[in-house]
Amino acid sequence: MVHAKSWTLKKHFEGYPTNSNFELKITELPPLKNGEVLLEALFLTVDPYMRVVAKRLKEGDTMMGQQVARVVESKNSALPTGTIVVAFSGWTTHSISDGKELEKLPTEWPDTLPLSLALGTVGMTGLTAYFGLLDICGVKGGETVMVNAAAGAVGSVVGQIAKLKGCKVVGAAGSDDKVAYLKKVGFDVAFNYKTVESLEETLKKASPDGYDCYFDNVGGEFSNTVICQMKKFGKIAICGAMSTYNSTGPPPPGPPPEIIIFLELRMEGFIVTRWQGDVRQKALKDLLKWVSEGKIQYHEHIKEGFENMPAAFMGMLKGENLGKTIVKA
């Protein structure tokens, strides 16, 4: 018999999550039925969206999320033992699937790339950067792009794709080490938003003419400051609002409506699952090609051990990671 370890939501979050919000449970899995496979997690992801979507869970439910898993037992001819898949199984070591929602890695995946990238730069966070920048913002060469949380899993890819497309890229991050990393991967301007005297002046100095595209991962007062410096007809891709997720007070006021009206700005929130089928497969191929050719660099913040899922999640929400946070099971 196989025993699955799962991290469950013991108590809904109030403010920053703590260890008391989570409980580790062990369950015995039933034997496989025809068409089913048994998955064993190799790598698991923690992402900011989980802080918000956990509100939809009932206390006692398993935390949601993707994992790279190996098929360790199979009664499904399309998924033989040893197949590597991306599964939305949640924070669990073992799970049973009918195979319908599983995604095999691309056949051209090179041996030199870690499998964990299927959860990051060549997975959900890479796709988020790709579609938010290229579809929502529709960037063209010569434009100026601003991205915050720029050393995170999404932001670091946004900046590098923007550079590939011929844009000027300005990035904000929360430590000097992160700023150094952004400069290393090609950002034109990078700054530590925690230490600058004036965010407004720093943004003006970085791009006196303003910004064509703003890729927002943070929200709050930071966004209000950026939006006032957009160019006419500027586009804003609202990917996340990290600055507000753990707040227990009222949300900060939004940007001045007259700015949005008179600059004729377009703001659009988006979720990466909007893009499916052929466009998604093309995006994954593009990302895999750029990473394989060294045109997009990646950095992973890896925590060892399934028991460290809550710690990895809490650390990511506090900005301890450079690049994508991954748990190696």
* 103 backbone dihedrals φ, ψ, rounded to 5°: -125, 120
* 291 residue type, one letter: V
Where do we find the tokens 């033992």? 81
CA–CA dist 51, 65 (Å, integer):
11
Q: Tell me how far apart the alpha carbons of residues 2 and 267 are, in angstroms, rounded to a whole number.
A: 48
Token pair listed for 326: 């991954």
Is 140 within 8 Å of 161 (Cβ atoms)? no
Q: What is the DSSP code (8-state) at residue 225?
A: H
Distance CA 27, CA 21 (A): 19
Banded pLDDT at 106 (limits 50, 70, 90):
confident
pLDDT of residue 107: 85
> Across residues 223-234, what is the average pLDDT?
97
Tokens for 240, please give them: 């996340």
Where do the DSSP E strands lie in 189-238? 189-192, 211-216, 230-238
Measured in whole angstroms, the distance separating CA 258 from the mean position of its chain's CA atoms is: 32
Please report which helix (H) or strand (E) contains residue 86, including its range.
strand 84-87
Handedness of CA 115, 120, 126, 128 (dihedral sign): positive
**What is residue 321's predicted lDDT score, i.e. its pLDDT?**
96
Of 26, 104, 20, nearest to 68 by C-alpha is 104
- According to the model, what pLDDT value does residue 251 have? 84
CB atoms within 10 A of CB 53: 13
What pLDDT digit, counting tens, does each position of 119-160 carry?
A: 999 999 999 999 999 999 999 999 999 999 999 999 999 999
Q: Which domains does the chain have, with CATH numbers?
A: 2-120+299-328 (3.90.180.10), 124-272 (3.40.50.720)
Rounded to whole angstroms, the Cα distance separating 187 from 164 reads 11
Compute the distance between CA of residue 110 and CA of residue 324 in angstroms, rounded to an integer: 20
